[in-house]
Amino acid sequence: MTLSTRRQAKRAARREARRALPLWRRLLPTWRVTFGVLTALFLLAVGAFAVLYVIVPVPDPNAHAVAQNNIYLYADGTTEIARTGAVNRTDVTIDQIPLQTQQAVVSAEDRSFYQNRGIDLKGMLRAGWNTLLGRGMQGGSTITQQYVKNYYLTQDRTIERKGRELLIALKVDQQRDKREILAGYLNSSYFGRGAYGIQSAAHAYYGVDVSRLTLGQGAYLASLLQAPSLYDVKTATPANHEKAVARWNYALDGMVQLGFLTPADRAATTFPDPIDPQPATGLAGQAGYLVGVADDYLISSGTLDAATLKAGGWRITTTFDQPRQDAFVKAVQDQLTGELDPQARPDTDTDVRVAGASVEPATGRVVAVYGGPDYAKQPYNDALRQDNQIGSTFKPIDLAAGLVAQHSLDGRPITTESRYDGTSERPVTGGPTPYAPPNEDDIDYGNITLRYAMVKSVNSVYAQEGVDAGLARVRETAVKLGIPDSVRGMDPANTSMTLGTATPSALDLAGAYATLADHGQAHAPWSVLKLERVNPGGAVDVPTMPEHNPTQALDREIADSVTDVLRDVISPRGTGAAALDLGRPAAGKTGTTDSNLSAWFAGYTPELATTVGLFREHPKTHAKEPLAGTAGLTRINGGTFPTRIWTAYMTAALNGAPTQDFDLQAGHGAPDATPWPTAPVSTTPSATTTPGGAPTTTDPAPGTPPGHAPSAPATTGQPAPGPTAPSPQATKPTTDPEQPSPAPKPTQTRPPRPTSQPTATAGPTDSATAPAQLN
């Protein structure tokens, strides 16, 4: 048999064997066919890549390398707020950049830079795989690719742009020296603070020429490249501050790994604190704060990245209303600044700062913010900072969570009229950490409702009610209302969370209260109405703006029940009595924190929700200082300057608008009809009883000076011991719903407090301390 005959016989045998296979198996291609198709596709792809490599040229530098202005406008679309965005850049040669700074950048951004050919296939595949696994969008770009994107292309996130970037990066790597590529990358990159290029960044963050950067300073500038606006440790949130330092450590550790740095030198390197941000030209007065809020929104919402925004050329119409913005500034000046006398009281009347924000409940539009007196003198936007505890302005969230729960952990119903023991320093039962918060002036209120406890801001009641509602539910409710889940002080492992250890910004808090005002509909605050840019040649970029669809954070009846209670805070007997001067239906809550480090008022009408925070801060160390003594007052409560500023602003902001009443559908104001479990109730001499059985009330008169307790009715006998039941709630009331009068207990008749009962301390993941909210 010849060779040809044998081959024919083998082929015939294979055909016969295949015919004997089941139909589904015969439909599948053989390995030879599969191999042939894959080989053809591979050769086709290689050929297409080769053709594209030849025909795609290295373009001229893109038009965005030319300096342009960003124009920011008020909501009317014509009144200018500021012009910014001119590119601040001075190119330098690679020899002017310290070698260790170069190495830190390579370590932070592309550790294979000196070995790769302009692209890193392994890094791209790894980033794609991690993205598919749901670990977030991750980049696999090399330094060369980032340089190509910055210098030749655009920031557009398209497949076409990414493909061109890859091809051009290969060509640039072939045509340019690695030192030249690295210099181009460092001269074109954005570092934050309006600084493009390593030279401008050295001046912006350390006030030195690039050639004088130290190892630590160079590593910090390298760490900024990943998130320049977020990793500025002078303005970052606590969480982003930690990320920035972690990124700095990552760059230095990589230098050791790559052999650029010895372990000993690494261990001796300490974090180099940058200088304070210097104000940009044209951002004096309120302009810099408004621009900061708009920029933060555009970047955080993903509408633009920081580099594209700072490249300039954008016409940005904001949501800010100029008359209301001016009214906010005037309110602070009239109600606070005019009362301060730094010369007479230099230790207390200096460095007093205000944070404020105003939001439309029905839309989420930010109509005004107060970030400071003058951006040229104070380039920190206090309206956005997240490092001040909000104190008792958190109590409405406790109440809302309780109404959501409908009953406490031991089965008792929670309504706005549920009764709790208001004894000062009453130990909280059932909490994860020991906690016995005092009431303001150590007043015992006896058996009172949650409504009355909100009116008087009784700490002992809401510390317990929050635990009864469930601390995890309290946190969940706060987040749904609009408090960012990343802020500190909202750890359910700490009982003190109930009284406002959380540190949202003034804008965050305004958004949360706006949700209550809009019957539980949550709109994330937003500050840009329109965005467009005219390119060379006349083409117009109009990015798609985010939609502002609300979410149902709370059922309407629950949100309206909270509003109904908060209306009573703005009453002659409430801590927000000063807001009565508004002359309109309003609801709100005061807040004062431990050691008088901050004071707040957050309130709303049906049309507008506004927050005002007051604090003092050392201008150099940025350490918080007590407000006590400010303007000659012993204590600054939320019911003083914050409420007065709020009232003055809201009066002007709503001037000319028709008065609206709240359209409430409150359904949580009455206890359940089912009998409550009986529990012993703490009796106090402050809860005297009339012959008819109804407790008398002696609410403090409006205007009682801070630090002065209301007069107490005469007492007889010693106070009875506190409750022994697990829950502080009393039996269901059957007579007059009036509250017992608050009375400071004489120290000689008070039973000894448990000296071994510590206040709540921070858990392992939360460093917030427990506040003693005063109002």
Say how far apart CA 717 and CA 572 lie, in whole Å: 31
480 neighbors 550 (Cβ within 8 angstroms): no
Locate the DSSP E strands across 21-169. 70-73, 80-84
Separation in Å, CA 193 to CA 237, 279, 376, 755: 16, 9, 14, 51
Asked if 392 is an active-site residue, the reply is yes
| Cβ neighbour number for residue 767 with a 10 Å cutoff | 13
Q: Which of 107, 109, 505, 682 is catalytic?
A: 109
Q: By three-state DSSP, how is residue 216 classified?
A: helix
SS (H, E, C) 526-571: ECEEEEEEECCCCCEECCCCCCCCCEECCCHHHHHHHHHHHHHHCC
DSSP 427-451: PPSS-SS---PPPGGGEE--EEEHH
| Cβ neighbour number for residue 100 with a 10 Å cutoff | 20
Asked if 561 is an active-site residue, the reply is no
Say how far apart CA 34 and CA 43 lie, in whole Å: 14
Q: By three-state DSSP, how is residue 624 classified?
A: strand
169 neighbors 142 (Cβ within 8 angstroms): yes
Tokens linked to 753: 């407090």
H helical segments located in 20-82 = 23-27, 31-55
Tokens linked to 758: 């510590």
366 neighbors 611 (Cβ within 8 angstroms): no
H helical segments located in 392-543 = 395-405, 450-455, 459-469, 471-481, 506-517
- The phi, psi pair for 30, rounded to 5°, reads -75, 170
Contacts of 181 (CB under 8 A, 6+ apart): 143, 144, 147, 172, 173
User: From the DSSP assignment, how many helices (H) and strands (E) are in the chain?
Assistant: 22, 17
Nearest to 106, CA basis, from 92, 120, 89, 121: 120
390 neighbors 497 (Cβ within 8 angstroms): no
Q: Which of 392, 460, 496, 505 is catalytic?
A: 392
Q: Is the dihedral of CA 437, 440, 442, 444 positive or negative?
A: negative
Catalytic residues: 109, 392
